[in-house]
């Protein structure tokens, strides 16, 4: 069955299965393909979560903003195997909802939660509360929540994870990260006590993150991707400014393409797009059972054209053009950290590391920009934006 006929079949109705058949796609040399079984419901793609050995669907379920447990319950029935929550989501009310929804399927799914705690005692107390609220005696993966620097992975937090593991309360230890990945992920890749890395990852992210997760996956770490919709699914706010992707990704098929862009990467073992309702669940499952297609590539290429004036590809052809001597690529990259990748703090930090004479430049006061980008990037606008964002 070619992709169009698969799509036709899927579009005909989401007669989704109670149990999906497996297609394991562990090898980077054998890109995943949706199973071709026209008489049956669509099959999920499965991958192995690094050395944990856990088999997971490439489309998992981020429960953080789910409005009703029935959506989680149905997702498990349909065959999604990975579910993620956290102690801090709605003061634990989210864990309670997730636990109740997955009660019937607990032994058939991979369940993860997280703790924001900074000390061993607080972390272990969080875990006990999580287990109670989730109604289970163990979670499969327990993450240290929202870390961005190696020094945040303290010995006592690692000890908390190991203690919990010995007690049978967790099966595997993980770290979640929203920022600082180019530095943090390589550190985690080498950390023998960390099994799984949960990281923000999408088509608009810093290419250095792609390289970092590839390295980590090769080291045997399980890789779980979050923020996969690049801010385009709902709202798009909350990271360094109104997300430029949010409005532009409303084109039909765009969100599916964005999700498939992530799942096509064999170093990403599963994803946790947020799903608020049954409709979104079905959209994501439809998206996830198909391989990244030429149509998807075209759609994202169009999107890249739209965002081209904003995004520098770091080709370096503008080096030396600025009459003020600004390192144009660097400053545009700092701005992209905030506006494109949602890493405002990182962008500001890097900007403030510029030599004083460069940090003091205000392009808005310059009589005509001498930098001409051969790819159409609005250089002056980007530099001014960076200075407005980061210069104090």
Partner 1 sequence: MLKLAGLVALVAGAAVAAEPVQPSCSLVPGWTQSGAPRSYDADHLFEYMDGNAEGYVRYNFQEMHGVTCKKGDITFVVDISDMGDADFAYGWFSANRDLRTPEFRVGMGGQIVPRRLIFAKGKYYVEIAADPEGDHTAALQAFASALDRAVPGETSPPGALGWFPKEKLQSLKLAPESVLGLRILERGYVAQYDYGKAFVVMDDAASEVMTKLKQRFGQIIPAKIADEAFVATDQYLGRMCVFRKGRYVGGYAISADGADPVTLATALAAAIK
Q: Is 321 among the residues that bind partner 1 (CB under 8 A)? A: no
Nearest residue to 392 via CA among 358, 357, 360, 354: 360
| DSSP assignment letter at 174 | E
Binding residue (CB under 8 A) for partner 1 from 26, 156, 277, 319: 277
Least separation in angstroms between CB 337 and partner 1: 13
| Minimum separation from the CB atom of position 381 to partner 1 (A) | 19
Q: Which two three-digit tokens encode residue 189?
A: 């890749």
> What is the spatial distance between Cα 388 and Cα 137, in angstroms, rounded to a whole number?
50
Part in contact with partner 1 (CB under 8 A); list of ranges 37-45, 164-172, 213-221, 272-280: 272-280
Is 334 a binder of partner 1 (CB under 8 A)?
Answer: no
Distance CA 223, CA 211 (A): 13
Does position 179 interact with partner 1 (CB under 8 A)? The reply is: yes
Angstrom CA distances, 392 to 359, 363, 386, stand at: 10, 15, 11
Asked if 342 interacts with partner 1 (CB under 8 A), we say yes
What's the rounded Cα separation, in Å, for the pair 338 and 360? Answer: 19
Please count the residues of this chain forming the interface with partner 1, following the rule CB under 8 A: 45
Would you give the binding string for partner 1 spanning residues 90-109, x where CB under 8 A is met? Answer: xxxx----------------
Which is closer to partner 1, CB of 92 or CB of 174?
Answer: 92
Taking CB under 8 A as the criterion, the residue among 163, 280, 313, 324 binding partner 1 is: 280
Find the binder of partner 1 among 3, 163, 210, 276 (CB under 8 A): 276
- Interface with partner 1 (CB under 8 A), residue from 53, 220, 238, 253: 238
d(CA 181, CA 206): 9
Site for partner 1 in 62-91 (CB under 8 A): 64-71, 73-74, 86, 88-91
Nearest Cα neighbor of 283 from 304, 257, 303, 315 is 257
Asked if residue 349 binds partner 1 (CB under 8 A), the reply is: no
x/- letters, 129..168, toward partner 1 (CB under 8 A): ----------------xx-x--------------------
Q: Pick from 46, 292, 344, 351: which binds partner 1 (CB under 8 A)?
A: 344
Alpha helix ranges (H) inside the chain: 3-11, 69-78, 93-101, 120-134, 155-166, 181-190, 207-218, 244-248, 254-263, 278-288, 294-307, 328-339, 344-351, 356-359, 379-390
> Is 208 strand, coil or helix?
helix
Q: Which two tokens stand for residue 287?
A: 């998206």
- CA atoms of 171 and 173, how far apart (whole Å): 7
Q: In this structure, are residues 184 and 208 in contact, taking their beta carbons and an 8 Å threshold?
A: no
Q: Which of the stretches 155-163, 232-240, 249-257, 368-376 binds partner 1 when contact is defined by CB under 8 A?
A: 232-240
Residue 176 interacts with partner 1 (CB under 8 A): yes or no = yes
Q: What's the rounded Cα separation, in Å, for the pair 83 and 62?
A: 6
**Residue 36 vs 121, nearer CB to partner 1:** 121
> Would you count residue 216 as binding partner 1 (CB under 8 A)?
no
Binding site for partner 1 (CB under 8 A): 64-71, 73-74, 86, 88-93, 114, 116, 121-122, 125, 145-146, 148, 176, 178-179, 234-235, 237-242, 274, 276-280, 342, 344-345
């Amino acid at each position: 069955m070619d992709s169009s006929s698969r799509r036709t079949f899927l579009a005909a109705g989401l007669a989704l299965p109670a149990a999906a058949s497996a297609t394991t796609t562990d090898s980077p040399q054998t890109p995943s393909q949706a199973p071709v079984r026209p008489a049956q419901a669509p099959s999920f793609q499965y991958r192995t979560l690094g050395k944990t050995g856990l088999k997971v669907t490439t489309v998992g379920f981020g429960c953080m903003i789910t409005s009703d447990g029935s959506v989680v319950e149905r997702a498990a029935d349909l065959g999604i195997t990975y579910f993620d929550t956290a102690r801090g989501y709605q003061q634990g009310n989210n864990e309670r909802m997730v636990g109740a929804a997955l009660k019937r399927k607990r032994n058939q799914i991979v369940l993860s939660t997280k703790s924001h705690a900074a000390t061993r005692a607080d972390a272990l107390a969080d875990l006990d509360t999580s287990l109670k609220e989730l109604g289970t005696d163990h979670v499969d993966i327990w993450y240290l929540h929202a870390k961005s620097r190696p020094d945040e992975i303290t010995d006592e937090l690692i000890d908390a994870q190991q203690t919990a593991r010995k007690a049978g309360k967790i099966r595997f230890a993980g770290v979640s990260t929203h920022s600082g990945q180019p530095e943090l992920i390589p550190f985690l890749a080498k950390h023998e006590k960390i099994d799984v890395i949960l990281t923000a990852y999408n088509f608009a992210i810093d290419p250095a993150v792609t390289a970092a997760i590839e390295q980590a996956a090769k080291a045997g770490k399980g890789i779980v991707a979050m923020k996969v919709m690049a801010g385009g699914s709902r709202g798009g706010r909350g990271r360094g400014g109104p997300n430029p992707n949010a409005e532009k990704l409303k084109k039909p098929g765009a969100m599916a393409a964005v999700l498939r862009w992530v799942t096509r990467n064999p170093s990403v073992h599963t994803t946790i797009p947020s799903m608020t309702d049954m409709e979104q669940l079905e959209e994501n499952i439809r998206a996830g059972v198909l391989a990244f297609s030429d149509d998807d590539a075209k759609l994202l290429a169009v999107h890249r054209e739209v965002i081209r004036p904003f995004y520098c590809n770091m080709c370096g052809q503008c080096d030396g053009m600025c009459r003020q001597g600004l390192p144009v690529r660097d400053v545009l990259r700092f701005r992209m950290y905030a506006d494109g990748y949602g890493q405002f703090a990182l962008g500001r930090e890097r900007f403030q590391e510029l030599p004083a004479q460069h940090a003091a430049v205000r392009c808005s006061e310059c009589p005509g920009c001498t930098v001409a980008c051969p790819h159409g990037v609005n250089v002056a606008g980007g530099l001014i934006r960076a200075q407005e964002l980061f210069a104090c």
